[in-house]
Structure 1
């Protein structure tokens, strides 16, 4: 087969019917693994196939793309850089989006290789063509260009090149195409910023970070919404958060939360502001963030107790995020009656809200109630038990009732709450005192979907792995649970067929 591929490649320029010849070549190429193609294609020139790209025949262009994709992946980045740089540059400027994506993908491979990247660094025209691709209407082309430039920025040489004056001017020219394209550039800059403090320094010195932060207070609300999302991504790194704090951006966002009450358009960007602080809190310190920026925590409680479903959903997600850490649980508990009111509201939503909000509320509750074995101090166990009792007069019955409703996602969420308390002694005692609960756990027929079977299996595993389970659940129940665990989540009991003698 290798010989026939070499022959087909050498003769492709002379075929009378290009489409037919290309189809034959494609069939041959896809009949062998990519790993075995390198020896067959590395000595061949692909000029004819690249020339076939300049056609009005869509079928011909698509065949060429399929063939080149297969062949170029078999070639090393160094080989590509030395032999097909001009062809790839032409591909970036091609009319076909598929050709552009093919070329940008291969350029991405080249810039990742230390011995090949210089071919790109020394070619301003090619680099500018990639930058201009970010302004393409097709989002897939733009994303591939962003990805390739992001890879280029992983080296100091790449950073030096990308942020030198003339290339930076090209970037700013592309930013001026439209609001959408400007935010694609911001996306690239934020991604580069996350790599290291050094790469972040390049982005700051370029002025693009300051320009992004200026968008937070712009007149266009929709632009402000996107800016908040970008700044949230910027805060994912420690050096990013330190910069935002040092330059007063944290205070600025806190003030935006405070001022949201008087802004009729705040519902558009307020969820983003709350998510921003929620992410920062979980990465740094829930206590520090909530104490330094009290407007954040107050707004979360206000949103949870409000009537806007969109705001309620964001508040539920944020409460679950905060409550997933011990420090976050303690911060919430310190608010006293305020959090109790929120927890009661969460319970009400879990029972009577829309399906989406019920799911988000139940998941948040399971995060609030989760304690790892090493976290189970006497005080924390008592805290979680007191929270659980706030859900309802009969919280076990309430959660069990939700688990029996004909909504698979609610069933799984209810099981997640049972799993959260399953490793805690008070939770096990509550389970044992609830009539029929252990039978419910061991009954495989109550969980029909794969997700439900997995959730039930996780619950059984939490019970079995607890050090207090044998004492509280009893050896007989533990033996049955261990059998369930050993059989796996998808075990089905075999039922023997019974026939009637003489029946036809």
Structure 2
């Protein structure tokens, strides 16, 4: 089969090859396993195919050539692609067709992932320059592929030097001038590189580009702030990134902007992002330290739950869920006392009355707040989760049961997730057992119609069945039914028995 492909490749007659030849080659390729092509990689003559990708080629010709090359180049080792098709790669990045650029960047991606081949890219200044300018193109997927390749190149010392100690830095700065969108793409690249290591961050700060990003973050343009805070949040994902932001006073500045948001009529544009920043910071460092050092963050989250703007409520609820995902975060929230209980009442109200999307976000937050691993189940924490659950509504269990019976899989699964989060805890098991029909609902497989709901129900059964207190609270017969459900799996269907009727044919 590979022989037919090789014969068709040899038959290609330069830039005027008929479409029929390309169609025949394209069809033949579909039947040849990649392994067989790899065995004949040295015999693949790809020059004529690249030649057919001239700027003036017809659309169908370009589409066929791209599809054929995508397949054939997979059979060629990355280092051989870099060495043998160096000029073709450069032409591909300058091609007017986005599909050709995407093909070329996919090969660049293979090359930079290979330790043997990446030096071929680093030694090709012109190719690197063209990759930089691909960030400024209109096609987002092309820009993303260029960013990914450059960030991969920067993982080596030689790559960092090539990007930041050569004319490429000027090229990056020139690309940034294209428009606002492209400027943010360059910031995205710089943040990605900075997050890799303290040394990478040092190169990026020396370039001045991180400083520019932070200047825009704390500037007066509210829309720019909203975009920049997402990138700064990404930078804070790394320990050295957080250290840098703290040393430069950026975290304090963000806190001060939140304080000033009270008098800013446009604060709704950037406030959600600023609150998310602190929420992520609290989880990555220490919820207690962050909340004590920046009390305005906690105050703002509580205040946002009272907002009439669903976006604000959603961000506040998500942040509460993030904070409440750790024991330390739970204890910080618990210190707010009645203030937090009032917030939970608001969350319960949203579960009952909000849009489906916001209901699900609220239920996810409740799951995080209520979950305790078996090792975390101290008397104090159990009393705390029980009081939080009762604060949601007059009858929180019935509220959740009502949602779990609705014909919307996303809502059903979110409610089941809450039940699963609390299923380990004795107080919750007693509530479930004493609620009429709840045990039957748990055991009833016919209630869940779709796969995701069946999986969610199974997780609840598993959490209950594996609890040390379930046999005592639910009773042995129910415990055995749970174990049977668990062993049968989530998709078990009870066989229908057929009874013979006397006289039937």
TM-score class, shorter-chain normalisation, is over 0.9
2:212 maps to 211
What does 1:212-231 align with in structure 2 at a 5 Å threshold? 212-231=213-232
User: Within 2, Cα distance between the matches of 1:44 and 1:340?
Assistant: 70
2:484 maps to 483
Q: Which runs of 5+ in 2 are unaligned?
A: none
SS state at 1:114 partner: coil
How far did residue 451 of structure 1 move? 1.6
1:25 maps to 25
User: Within 2, Cα distance between the matches of 1:401 and 1:30?
Assistant: 53
Higher mean C-alpha displacement, 448-457 vs 314-323: 448-457
SS state at 1:414 partner: helix
User: Within 1, Cα distance between the matches of 2:321 and 2:105?
Assistant: 41
Please say if residues 254 and 296 of structure 1, whose CA atoms lie closer than 8 Å, have aligned partners that are also in contact.
yes
1:369 maps to 370
1:34 maps to 34
Root-mean-square deviation (CA), in Å? 1.7
User: Within 2, Cα distance between the matches of 1:323 and 1:142?
Assistant: 37
SS state at 1:305 partner: coil
SS state at 1:42 partner: helix
Distance 1:306 1:44, change over 3 A: closer
Deviation sequence 1:134-176 (CA, Å, 0-9, x none):
0001111111111111111111111110111311011100011
Please say if residues 218 and 254 of structure 2, whose CA atoms lie closer than 8 Å, have aligned partners that are also in contact.
no
Deviation sequence 1:289-346 (CA, Å, 0-9, x none):
1111111100000001222111001111111111111001000000111101101111
User: Within 1, Cα distance between the matches of 2:433 and 2:14?
Assistant: 81
2:50 maps to 50
Please say if residues 349 and 358 of structure 1, whose CA atoms lie closer than 8 Å, have aligned partners that are also in contact.
yes
Please say if residues 108 and 149 of structure 1, whose CA atoms lie closer than 8 Å, have aligned partners that are also in contact.
no
Please say if residues 320 and 364 of structure 1, whose CA atoms lie closer than 8 Å, have aligned partners that are also in contact.
yes
User: Within 2, Cα distance between the matches of 1:184 and 1:32?
Assistant: 39
How far did residue 499 of structure 1 move? 8.6
Distance 1:174 1:499, change over 3 A: farther
User: Within 1, Cα distance between the matches of 2:20 and 2:285?
Assistant: 61
What does 1:81-100 align with in structure 2 at a 5 Å threshold? 81-100=82-101
1:460 maps to 461
Matched, 1:197 2:192: no
SS state at 1:165 partner: coil
Please say if residues 15 and 21 of structure 1, whose CA atoms lie closer than 8 Å, have aligned partners that are also in contact.
no
Please say if residues 218 and 253 of structure 2, whose CA atoms lie closer than 8 Å, have aligned partners that are also in contact.
no
Please say if residues 333 and 340 of structure 2, whose CA atoms lie closer than 8 Å, have aligned partners that are also in contact.
yes
How far did residue 503 of structure 1 move? 8.9
2:381 maps to 380
What does 1:128-207 align with in structure 2 at a 5 Å threshold? 128-207=129-208
What does 1:311-460 align with in structure 2 at a 5 Å threshold? 311-460=312-461
With normalisation by structure 2, the TM-score equals 0.96
User: Within 2, Cα distance between the matches of 1:281 and 1:232?
Assistant: 12
Please say if residues 14 and 51 of structure 2, whose CA atoms lie closer than 8 Å, have aligned partners that are also in contact.
no
How far did residue 401 of structure 1 move? 2.0
Please say if residues 159 and 199 of structure 1, whose CA atoms lie closer than 8 Å, have aligned partners that are also in contact.
yes
User: Within 2, Cα distance between the matches of 1:281 and 1:305?
Assistant: 22
User: Within 2, Cα distance between the matches of 1:17 and 1:202?
Assistant: 49
User: Within 1, Cα distance between the matches of 2:150 and 2:384?
Assistant: 50
User: Within 2, Cα distance between the matches of 1:414 and 1:4?
Assistant: 58
Higher mean C-alpha displacement, 119-128 vs 244-253: 119-128
Runs of 4+ with >6 A deviation: 498-504
Deviation sequence 1:338-371 (CA, Å, 0-9, x none):
1011011111111122222211111111110000
User: Within 1, Cα distance between the matches of 2:152 and 2:269?
Assistant: 33
1:4 maps to 4
Higher mean C-alpha displacement, 35-44 vs 330-339: 35-44
Higher mean C-alpha displacement, 112-121 vs 473-482: 112-121
What does 1:279-290 align with in structure 2 at a 5 Å threshold? 279-290=280-291
Please say if residues 14 and 48 of structure 2, whose CA atoms lie closer than 8 Å, have aligned partners that are also in contact.
no
Deviation sequence 1:107-139 (CA, Å, 0-9, x none):
121122233222222221111111000000111
User: Within 2, Cα distance between the matches of 1:200 and 1:503?
Assistant: 83
SS state at 1:28 partner: helix
Matched, 1:236 2:244: no
User: Within 2, Cα distance between the matches of 1:189 and 1:15?
Assistant: 41
Please say if residues 5 and 40 of structure 1, whose CA atoms lie closer than 8 Å, have aligned partners that are also in contact.
no
